[in-house]
Chain A
Amino acid sequence: MSAAAPRFGTAQVLFGLAVGILVIFVAVPVLLIFFNAFWVNGAFNVADVLKVLRQKDTYEALLNSLVLASGVTVTGTIVGTFFAWLVTRTDLPFKGAMKVLFLVPFMLPSFIGALAWKMLLSPRSGYINRFFQEVLGFDGPVFDIYTYGGIIGVETMYLFPFVFIQVCGALERMDPTLEESARISGADLFTITRRITIPLVLPSILSGALLIMLYSMAHFGTVAVLGIEAGIYNIPTLIYEKIHQSAGSFDSIRTGTVLATVLVVTAAFILWLQNRVLSRGRYQIIAGKSFRPTELKLRGLRYPLLAFCLAYIAFTIVLPTVTIFLVGGLKTYGLPLAAENFTWGNYRHILFEWQLTRDAIWNSITLGLAAALITMFAGVIISYVIVKMKVRGKGILEFLGMLPFSVPGSVIALGVILAWSGKFGVNLYNTVWIILVAYIARYMAFSLKANSAALEQVHDSLVEAARASGATMWQALRDVVVPLVRPGMLAAFFLIFLPALRELTVSVLLYGPTSRTIGVAIYTLNEDGETVYSAALAGIALVIIVTGEVVIKRFFKTASGS
């Protein structure tokens, strides 16, 4: 296509636009963080950075992030791999339905789960602890959720699907003859699993594990809800604490930027590692002629294992969800869960009367829509330049395009504060706009992923065939490229809109008096001891999120089915 069309101007404009968007929204905030961390009083300074890192609360937070993330990674990987194996390689009953159920935690916000577990297992007032004490006659609380174990457990429930989904995919796509050839070689199923299957899906297991690690490292909600009480801080919660408690003093911002730098570097390292695992270790295990893989006959264990899976789902999904709705309906927190203590009043109050929560719902929905729309269009332009155009300097753009993937939410929030608080003539602090700017940076990665994938499918020859049919460059774009990329754009829209609805990590650092999001409102209500309202709002958020997910799944199913 190179010299064929007179598009000297167009290419440069698109390229400039793509670079501009990424620089302004992503690169500048991140650079400002590095700059603030290492540049003190007009000089490059490492000693001060080390000093900050040597402070007790900072290195403890670093250590905690590491311990928590490692713990969640190990447990999440074990749980995810086990269930993935169970639903793809055994004759477990209702495998299809079980697979869908195991993916449900993906759509539930983990901080709401943390809230629910707090209500169930907090040492003083948790319903389960109370049940053990009051009904079973234990002396003191049996469980304590405010511990490393508690946090790891709750995060595991919500993050294991990262591994589950990757391993399921690998096991389903794997050429069954790789295992059959081991069987005919004389190996039994156990040996095949150990010597052939696991080594072959190991890259997928590792890649999922690293995703868990990445996510957990940068995760705010669960640690904030369950950790602060016991003095357990990780990097994002400490950044929040510093920024919030000290009202943006220079020292606290610096500490924040140093912590953020550590987070970015770690995230980049994890992503680099994941890339390596995927590119070096991904074997060609997919093949054409396909038979059903040999299933392990569970025999007597079939129904016990099904019961185990159902119990796991009941315990990790149903129980916390029900708890949220019940507590949200209580007249006062702490009352027994009995019929006479329930009221619809909390829900009515939140939805129709209380300005704070109504603002929050409105803010989340409008922010989500705006961020999704803007990011979708920006993403399609950037992806087009990266995937399809042959322009000089594309390497820079590819690098910039990778950046959003490795910048955690709290880092973006901090960078956005540095960039948009009046320092450069624009002050968006305490408005919804600063959250929007941060969302665009945060969700750019999703949009780039979905749009690039769609564009990769549009082979050059499809465009060339249009040119050979007499279409100009623009006609070919309009008639061939745009229609084919539309599903990818839609996917990008929903991939952004739904998570934005329940976002907490970014908005909690950026909200002002009138710019609370749903996540912030739930979190702050809980902090302020308004547990019942917090739960009721969480319940409403769950309804909105699940409805959204279901509607979209339906939509995509009918769209792809026709």
Chain B
Amino acid sequence: MAGVRIEGLAKAYGDHRVHTGLDLEVVPGQCFTLLGPSGCGKTVLMRLIAGFEAVDAGRILIGERVVADGASGVHVPPDERGIGMVFQDYAVWPHMTVFDNVAYPLRIGRVAAAELAERTRAAVEQVGLAGLEARLPSQLSGGQQQRVALARALVSRPELLLLDEPLNNLDANLREEMRFEIKALQERLGITVLYVTHDQEIALAIADRMAVMDASGRPRQSGTPAELFDRPADDFVFRFLGIANFLEVRRVDGSLRLADGRTPWAGPAPDRPGDRLAVGFRPGDVVASRGGEGLPGVVRRASFLGAQVDYLVEVAGTTIRAAVDSGRAFREGRVLAEGEDCRLAFLGVQWFDAGVLDAGAA
């Protein structure tokens, strides 16, 4: 089991600088997810770690071993890095059966026949494909092919497993199922996993720790999923992790008012000074009720989605999204209709400088 340490990494393609001085650490035995928009260089980083690309500067360590060093020119080829990798397009070999695909790393490693058969069967079983060993990939569904890729990456007991958006091409249900499976496997085997994705739900669900990168490849924040979600370092992280509502709050003569200058802000107090602030919250942070205390608003749209009712509420000229648990709303008779006046209370908010309001519009 090995961690990964990246120090001062730089990589450019011609004039296009993908990474400049990136530092990152993955703790051994943990699942680390790297979340970022497409084009942020997260796949390049993965390929640098795997050894498919050479670093321009900086070092990459897998465990204690330096596998890439721009200064000394060390570049350990991918086949000697002891990693397992799963690609977005599965990359299972179409001319080999499930068994042969999974057994390949062992064959290359000259594992004795009996042990090879045993370990391959175990790996195939581990991903729930027992009985399908003789099938060709073309006879498997997308989810099953991805499982073959996973078994193949795990069979040689790598120190480090790299997953490059492996669930992207699967449909929603399968994606949900697979992310739990990957997490369960990681915990059972105790291996180190580095997972890159642009899907915040997957990233949050499987990570022990995670980092959010912006479009220019700069890590904005790293920490546990709860830390990032509850205490985002900036509005980029806040927006990237889910649906984000913002309201402008002004200090007028010592009291807090919304953008219209009249409506008083009725939520938690700001944690920072300034005459113009932005308050951010998620749809689930809002409790919308008929009457009572709280910020007045008008329901512009109510959509019943099953487990939740999704409201679009107009508050002092701004529309925000609020989500409530439908079961409870029905039980408590709190289902609001379109056009109805309501009051909003807040379970938790984030404060930002007012500048983020303009960033969102851009």
Contact = CB atoms under 8 A, between A and B. Distances in A.
Report A-B touching, CB under 8 Å: yes
Interface of A: 1-5, 459, 461-462, 464-472, 475, 479-480, 483-484
A465 B109 contact: no
Given A3-B75, A459-B91, A462-B91, A468 B108 contact: no
Contact of B153 (A468, A472, A480, A484): A468
A469 B52 contact: no
B29 to A, nearest CB: 20
Interface string B89-117: 10111110000000011001100000000
Given A479-B104, A484-B94, A484-B95, A467 B78 contact: yes
Given A3-B75, A4-B51, A4-B78, A465 B91 contact: yes
27 contacts: A2-B54, A3-B54, A4-B53, A459-B91, A462-B93, A464-B78, A465-B87, A465-B91, A465-B93, A465-B152, A466-B104, A467-B52, A468-B50, A468-B78, A468-B79, A468-B162, A469-B79, A469-B152, A469-B156, A470-B80, A471-B104, A471-B108, A475-B108, A479-B93, A483-B95, A484-B94, A484-B95
Closest 3 CB pairs of A and B: A469-B105, A461-B91, A468-B85
B91 A4 contact: no
B49 to A, nearest CB: 11
Contacts of A466: 93, 104
Contacts of A472: 77, 79
Given A1-B52, A484-B94, A467 B87 contact: no
A41 B104 CA distance: 65
Interface string B43-76: 0000000111110000000000000000000010
Given A4-B78, A464-B85, 14 more contacts: A4-B51, A4-B75, A459-B89, A461-B87, A461-B89, A464-B87, A465-B92, A465-B93, A467-B51, A467-B52, A467-B79, A471-B108, A472-B77, A475-B79
Contacts of B54: 2-4
Contacts of B149: 465
A465 B148 CA distance: 12
Contacts of B85: 464-465, 468
Given A4-B52, A469-B156, A464 B108 contact: no
Given A4-B75, A469-B156, A464 B50 contact: yes
Which of A1, A459, A462 gathers most chain B CB within 10 Å? A462
A464 B86 CA distance: 10
Interface in B138-168: 149, 152-153, 156, 162
B231 to A, nearest CB: 36
B84 interface: yes
B78 to A, nearest CB: 4
Contacts of B84: 468
A462 B109 CA distance: 18
A464 B94 contact: no
Contact of A5 (B77, B83, B92, B95): B77
Given A2-B53, A465-B85, A470 B105 contact: yes
Contacts of A469: 79, 104-105, 108, 152, 156
A456 to B, nearest CB: 14
A461 B52 CA distance: 10
